[in-house]
Amino acid sequence: MSQQGTEQQVDGEFIVDTEGCEERERAHRERGTARPITVVGNPVLHRECEDVTEFGDDLGRLVDDMFASQRAAEGVGLAANQIGVGLKVFVYDCMDDEGVRHVGVVCNPVLDELPAESRVLDDSNEGCLSVPGAYAELARPDVAVVRGQDTEGKPIAVRGTGYFARCLQHETDHLYGRLYIDRLSKRDRKDVLRQMAEGTPRYETVPNG
């Protein structure tokens, strides 16, 4: 799994995912092949994924395909089950609220439970590649810390604020079988599904059933 080990540097507790973003993302994407995106209703999206236990070439190829798929769908984050693979790994290529780009990979992510005094709820719009063409306001903490492993199995921690914090929470949710619409009220969920039904995905999706 060449080039994986030098990809993320560590600065104290957290990885540095803001350096060499263009080169790292391009390398993954050019090695990978874009796959169709699974959509709400596909069983793989609605159950907890399995832990990553093998940190080798197969995982490297999956990560490459995930970056290629994410770019093809114009997303900022992608979980493995969104391309039909039930493993706990997600990739991201996301700007924070300060316009700083973050690119990285997290395997077996777990979100820290942060004290209430260190976060504020942000009720911005949220969307999902697996719910194409639909958006809804959803309150999430404006800061997030996710811990997991890199593609070599080494422990890592990622901290995000603002939009990037939302991304980290959203992708971690995916790997535990939860979509953002599962956090909405019944009325808002119904509206999101209506938006999806009335639109046409701008990228290839996997038909359900």
**Which residues, at least 6 apart from 18, have a Cβ–Cβ distance to it below 8 Å?**
100, 101, 102
Choice among 48, 171, 198, 204 that is catalytic? 171
DSSP letter at 159 equals: E
Q: For this structure, is 171 an active site residue? A: yes
Whole-angstrom distance, CA of residue 165 vs CA of residue 47? 23
CB contact at 8 A, 159 and 102: no
Within 13 A of 193's CA, how many CA atoms are on the CB side? 12
Whole-angstrom distance, CA of residue 104 vs CA of residue 8? 7
Query: Which residues are designated catalytic?
Result: 171
